[in-house]
Amino acid sequence: MVEFVSGISVVCFAASYAVAFACEASRLLFRSGVRGAAMVAFAAAGLMAHTLFLAWRATHEPAVPLSSPFDWYLLAAWLLAGGSLWLTIANPRTPVGLFMLPIVLGLIGAAQLSSRAPFPQSPATQVWGVVHGSFNLAACVAVAVAAIAGLMWLIQAGRLARKQTPLGGLRLPSLERLAHTTGRVPAIAAWLAAAGFVSGMVLNAVNRQRGLLETVPWDDPVVLRMAAVVAWLVAAAVATRATSRRADGPRTAAWLALASLAVLTASILWGLFGATRHGAPPVAPAALQEAVP
């Protein structure tokens, strides 16, 4: 069993999610009696392999469990994959996976491109690092949920306006339920992102007080992009709230939710391919001086 778990790779659960997504997408083209069971089976198999992979890393990595950018993206993907599977089972006629699984696969791809080196591991940074990472993780999931609901609202509203029947027998949630999600979740995402940014500032200040050189400069790209994301999410939440009582409020909220996902995606790509001191291994000044010949 130990050898089996240790042999699980990212490709295993990514492939399972991809097959589940293909099954979900095929529902738009033709009907099948066994496709639903196959879709759930592949999604469940992927989630199981995903869970075992994270559990293996949490128990066998020398650093604090799941404390690298690689693990962070996989955790976000795991949360969304679990939510997608649960909603698919609870609402078999709603194509949840069609909207959620692409984001799951995107996060897995981001994990593959990110560093597996753990963040700084001193006692103080462990506590604040967990707080900082948890808020950012929750904000990322909240933005994805709001964007998915927003996209569903736009599709559902368009089909109802054209008086079209559900495609392939699939039914989306009601406009009222989707509007409720796009109206409430952006504010939650903004608060979570703001808390993540503030806790990151505290974490950086703790590192500076300890005299570690892995502190992130305040003008580092990661600070600037996170500040931009927080500013956008707050502005989007305020605009969503301000237009909530207007006739076009739900549509505005839906587009703002999609724009928020686009901003978050751009921030992630910037973080993956841009230069930054964020996540650099901890080096004390004295140790650095000793290393210089």
Render pLDDT for 30-48 as a digit per residue (tens, 0 to 9). Answer: 776 687 888 999 999 999 9
> For residue 11, what pLDDT band results from cuts at 50, 70 and 90?
confident
pLDDT score, position 10: 86
> For residue 257, what pLDDT band results from cuts at 50, 70 and 90?
very high
> For residue 242, what pLDDT band results from cuts at 50, 70 and 90?
very high
pLDDT exceeds 80 at position 1? no
64-68, 100-104, 258-262: which range is least confident on average?
64-68
pTM: 0.79
Render pLDDT for 166-180 as a digit per residue (tens, 0 to 9). Answer: 665 567 888 898 999
Render pLDDT for 182-219 as a digit per residue (tens, 0 to 9). Answer: 999 999 999 999 998 888 777 777 666 655 545 566 66
Of the two residues 104 and 213, the one the predictor is more confident about is 104
pLDDT score, position 2: 46
Beta-carbon count within 10 A of 276 CB: 17
Of the two residues 230 and 121, the one the predictor is more confident about is 230
pLDDT exceeds 50 at position 127? yes
pLDDT score, position 218: 64
Name which of 89, 20, 78, 70 is nearest 52 in CA terms: 78
- In this prediction, residues 232-256 reach a mean pLDDT of 92
pLDDT exceeds 90 at position 7? no
Render pLDDT for 217-231 as a digit per residue (tens, 0 to 9). Answer: 666 777 788 889 999
Task: State the DSSP string of the chain.
Answer: -HHHHHT--HHHHHHHHHHHHHHHHHTTT---SSHHHHHHHHHHHHHHHHHHHHHHHHHH-SSSTT-SHHHHHHHHHHHHHHHHHHHHHH-TTS-HHHHHHHHHHHHHHHHHHS--SPPP-SHHHHHHHHHHHHHHHHHHHHHHHHHHHHHHHHHHHHHHHTTPPPGGG--PPPHHHHHHHHHHHHHHHHHHHHHHHHHHHHHHHHHHHTT-TTPPPTTSHHHHHHHHHHHHHHHHHHHHHHTTTSTTHHHHHHHHHHHHHHHHHHHHHHHHHS---TTPPP--HHHHHHH--
- In this prediction, residues 130-139 reach a mean pLDDT of 83
Question: Rounded mean pLDDT of the chain?
Answer: 80
Judge contact between 97 and 84, C-beta under 8 A.
yes
pLDDT exceeds 70 at position 50? yes
Of the two residues 284 and 113, the one the predictor is more confident about is 113
Q: What are the residues whose beta carbons fall under 8 Å from the beta carbon of 112, sequence distance 6 or more?
A: 10, 70
Calculate the alpha carbon distances from 198 to 119, 183, 201 in Å.
17, 24, 5
